[in-house]
Amino acid sequence: MKTNYGPINPNCPHMLHGGDYNPDQWIRTPEIWDEDMRLMGLSGCNAMSVGIFAWAALEPAEGRYEFGWLDTIMDKLADAGGYAVLATPSGARPAWLSAAYPEVLRVRSDRGRNLHGGRHNHCLTSPVYREKVAAINRKLAERYTGHPALLLWHLSNEYGGQCHCDLCRAAFVQWLQGRYHDDLDALNHAWWTAFWSHTYTDFSQIEPPSPIGEGATHGLSLDWKRFLTDQTISFIRNEAAPLRELTPDVPITTNFMGLSTVLDYWKVARELDVISWDNYPRWHGPGSDADLAAGIAFVHDINRCHKDGKPFMLMESVPSATNWMAVAKRKRPGMHLLSSLQAVAHGSDTVQYFQWRKSRGGAEKFHGAVVDHVGHENTRVFRDVAAVGKVLAALDPVVGTSVRPEVAIVYDWENRWAIDGMAALGRELRKYPQTCTAHYRPFWQRGVPVDVIEELCDFSRYKLLITPMLYMLRPGVAERIKSFVAAGGTLVMTYWSGIVDENDLCHLGGWPGEGLRELLGIWDEEIDALYPADRNRIVMAEPNALGLRGQYDTRELCGLIHAEGAEVLATYGDDFYAGRPALTVNAVGEGEAYYIASRNSDAFLADFYGRLIATLGIAPILDADLPAGVTVQKRTDGTDEFLFLMNFTGDEQTVNLGDAALPDMLTGETLSGDTLLPPYGLKVLRRPAAPSTG
C-alpha cells in the first residue's frame, strides 16, 4: 500500500516552514521587506503564504492591476531560496467592487443585505463576483507562471458562510430540481412536508432555511447545507480554472477549519490537490493538555485521510498567543515545538503560522506572529520559531511519508449536520464530535495509529471499524458495514445509530435500521437521557469474552436494548432498566459486531479498546506502557519508520524503549531502555520498518 507520496511540489523536497506574509501592509516601508528576508533565513522559514487578502493592493481600481510590489516580493523570495504559497484574494474584496456591484454583498438569513466590510462577505453565486475573481486569478497565473518562487496555490481563505440573496435562492431551487429529478412529490416525501401542512405545490415556493421562515424541516436544512457545499465547490472550480489552465503543475489547496460545520470537507477535499488546515488550540486551559492534544490529533488524522493518507499542510497556527480567544494565554516552554511537530507526526509536511510579521493596525494586530512589533529576532517567540525551523530541516526523510492504520473511526460531516439539527436526546447531550474523540483517545494513549474516515470510505482494509453515533445511514453504508463484518472485520457501533436515512427520515421496524439490527443481534427500543448529575453504571457479566471485570460509570445517554441473538457482555446496574443489556457482541460470518448502548466513562473505553487491541492483534507502535498524556505516532516510507514520541504533560516522563537502539533524528544520540521526556518534550526516532507494517 502506498505510504510515500513524495513532496507537495517536487521543486522543494523539504518540510515547509513559514507563514501568512502580508508585505502589502508594509508597502510604505519597503526596507522592511529586506529585513523580512534576513529574518526568514534566521528562523529557518522557506515558504510564505503571500497575498491572501491583497486584492485592494493588486487591483486598486477596476481593471487597473499593480503587480510591482508582488513582483519584488516573489523575486526576493526566490533570491533567498524561499518559496511562495501564492493566494488568490477572493476572501475579502476592495470597496470599489462592492460600490460598483452591490449584488456581490452577502444577504443574511433574515434576508437583509450586508454593508461592505469584514471579510467572507460575498455572494458565492453572483456572476459578477465570479467573473472578477476569475479575472484577477488569471492575471496572477499569467504573471507568475514559471516563477521559481511559485510553489503552491492557496485558494481564497477559510471558505464558508451562506448567502440568501435571490441569486442564491434561485440556484438552490435549481439544485433541488436536479436532486429530485424535477419531482416535487419526491421532495415533499423526503422532507416529510405533510407535517404542519408544509407541502409545496411549486418549486418556486421553496425558500432557504430562515429565522423568519422555515427552520424546522430537517430535510430542507440538510439539503441547504449540501447545496452550500456544492455551491462552494462550484465557486472553487471557477477560481481554480485559470490556475489549472496556466500553471498545471502547481498544486492547489485551500485552508480548512478543523471540525467546522460550514462545509462537508470530505466533499470539498476532492477538489484539491493537497489538504491544509488552520489549527488554534487553547493550550494550558482549564482542561488537560493531554485531552486537548488527543482531540487535535483526531483532526490531524482527518486531514491526512481526506486524501487517503497523503500528507497535508498545517497552514495556520500561532507561534505564541491567539488574540481573539477568551484568554490569550502564551504557550509554555516546549509547547511551540511540540504542538508544531504534533502536526508532522500525524502527516503534515508543513508548519506554518498566522502570521509572519505582526500588523501595526487592524483586527489582528495583537495576534501572535513570528516577528513582533519590536522588529528584531531577539525575542522568545522568534527563538521558538527558529527552533522549529532547525528541527524541520532535519526531517527531510519524513517528507511524503504516511501511515496505514489497522483501526478506523468514522467521522462524517453529513451525519454531524443531521445530529446537530435534530430535536432529540437533549441539546446539551448530542456531542457527536466529543463522542468520536472519546472513542479515539484510547488508541492515541496507547500509541496505536488510527484513520478517521467518512461513511463513504473503503472499510475493507481495516481490522477494527468504530462508528460512534452513526445516526444517519447514507446510501449503501449499512451494506458495506455488513460486508466488512462478514469478511472478518470487527465493528463497534454505539447508541443512536441507524436511526434515519440520508433525508433524515426515521427507519421503521426497529433500530438500528437497514439490517444493522440483525447484524448486531439487538433491538434498540428507546434511549434514556440523563441530567448532568445523574449516573448509572454497567456491570460486566462474569465471565465474559473480553475478560473485563467489575463495573463502570455511565452517564447522559442509556439505550434500552433487547438482545436478539447477541451475547450480553454487560448489563445496567441501576434504575428501572437495571439488569437490561448495555454491551453486546454478535458473531457474524468471520467477524464480530459490538454494540455499546450507553455513554460510558473514559475508563470503560480505555479497558474495552485495550482488550480489543490485544485480542485482534493490533500492533501498537511501541511495545511499552506509555504514561498518561504521552503518545507515540509514526510515519513510514515502507523502509524506515519515523516515530514521534510526545509528552503533552507539564511533567518529566519516562518511556521504556526496550532493547532496540534507536537513533534520535534531532540530536544524533542513540536511545534505548528508559528514556526521559522533559515537560512538553518530544523525540523523533528512526527504526527499520517491520516487514508486516507500513
**Three cell numbers written together for 165:** 440573496
DSSP bridge partners of 653: 677
Please choose, out of 165-173, 293-301, 400-408, 530-538, the segment that lies near Zn ion by the rule CB under 5 A. Answer: 165-173
Interface stretch with Zn ion, choices 44-52, 166-174, 526-534, 620-628 (CB under 5 A): 166-174
Give the contacts of 207 (CB within 8 A, at least 6 positions apart).
169, 213, 214
What's the half-sphere exposure (Cβ side, CA atoms, 13 Å) at 386?
15
Print the SS3 string covering 415-467.
Answer: HHHHHHHCCCCCHHHCCHHHHHHHHHHHHHHHCCCEEEECCCCCCCCCCEEEE
Q: How far is the CB of 421 from Zn ion (least distance, A)?
A: 22
Q: How many residues bind Zn ion (CB under 5 A)?
A: 6
For Zn ion, give the closer residue by CB, 123 or 187.
Answer: 123
Asked, as a colleague might, if the bond just before 543 is cis with ω within 30 of 0, I would say: yes
Quick one: cell of 669? 544520540
Q: Which residues contact residue 609 at a Cβ distance below 8 angstroms, ignoring those fewer than 6 apart?
A: 439, 442, 443, 446
Residue with smaller CB distance to Zn ion, 5 or 129: 129
- Please, which residue, 163 or 269, has the CB nearer to Zn ion? 163
Q: How far is residue 502's CA from residue 498's CA, in Å, rounded to a whole number?
A: 11
DSSP secondary structure string for all residues of 537-548: EEEE-SS-TT--
Q: Which stretch binds Zn ion (CB under 5 A): 168-176, 203-211, 465-473, 543-551?
A: 168-176
Whole-angstrom distance, CA of residue 501 vs CA of residue 676: 51
664 near 671, Cβ under 8 Å?
yes
Q: How far is the CB of 59 from Zn ion (least distance, A)?
A: 22
Choice between 57 and 163, CB closer to Zn ion: 163
Minimum distance of Zn ion from residue 198's CB (angstroms): 24
Q: Which is nearer to Zn ion, 123 or 262 (CB)?
A: 123
> Closest separation between CB of residue 230 and Zn ion, Å?
14
Name the one range near Zn ion by CB under 5 A: 117-125, 316-324, 589-597, 684-692: 117-125
β-bridge mates for residue 559, sequence order: 527
Whether the Cβ atoms of residue 472 and residue 501 lie closer than 8 Å to each other: yes
Which residue stretch of 40-48, 133-141, 163-171, 242-250 sits at the interface with Zn ion (rule: CB under 5 A)?
A: 163-171
- Under the phi-then-psi rule, with left for phi > 0, alpha for psi from -120 to 50, and beta for the rest, what region is 176? alpha
CA angle centred on 472, ends 192 and 163, rounded to 5°: 70
Residue type, 575: D
Query: Does residue number 165 form part of the binding site for Zn ion (CB under 5 A)?
Result: yes
Name which of 163 and 386 has its Cβ closer to Zn ion: 163
Shortest Cβ 167–Zn ion spacing (Å):
5
| Inter-residue long-range contacts of 207-216, CB under 8 Å, 24+ positions, other chains counted | 207/169, 208/109, 208/162, 208/164, 208/168, 208/169, 208/172, 209/109, 210/109, 210/110, 210/111, 210/164, 211/109, 211/110, 212/110, 212/111, 216/423
Applying CB under 5 A, the span of 123-131, 479-487, 544-552, 594-602 interacting with Zn ion comes to 123-131
Confirm or reject binding of residue 228 to Zn ion (CB under 5 A). no
Q: What is the largest CA-CA distance in the chain?
A: 79
Q: How far is the CB of 282 from Zn ion (least distance, A)?
A: 34
Nearest to 566 by CA among 593, 602, 547: 593
**Smallest separation, CB 107 to Zn ion (Å):** 6
In the sheet with 682-688, reading across from the earlier edge strand, the strands are 630-636, 640-647, 682-688
Residue 163 makes contact with Zn ion by CB under 5 A: yes
470 lies in the site for Zn ion, by CB under 5 A: no
Active site residue 669: no
123 binds Zn ion (CB under 5 A): yes
Q: Which span (27-35, 83-91, 161-169, 660-668) binds Zn ion, by CB under 5 A?
A: 161-169
Contact between 125 and Zn ion by CB under 5 A: the answer reads yes
Helix (H) or strand (E) holding 571: strand 567-572
Under the binding rule (CB under 5 A), the answer on residue 173 touching Zn ion is no
Is 158 a catalytic site residue? yes
Grid coordinates standing for 462? 481495516
Q: How far apart are CA 260 and CA 565, in angstroms?
A: 40
Q: Which of 158, 406, 414, 514 is catalytic?
A: 158
Min separation Cβ 206 and Zn ion, Å? 16
Nearer to Zn ion, 167 or 184 (CB): 167
Cα 364 to Cα 362: distance, rounded to the nearest angstrom: 6
Report, in Å, the least distance between residue 236 CB and Zn ion.
16
Subset of residues 419 to 438 that bind Zn ion, contact rule: CB under 5 A: none
Catalytic residue among 59, 214, 316, 455: 316
12, 47, 168, 220: residue in contact with Zn ion (rule CB under 5 A): 168
State which amino acid sits at residue 270.
R
What residues act catalytically? 158, 316
Which residues contact Zn ion by CB under 5 A? Answer: 123, 125, 163, 165, 167-168
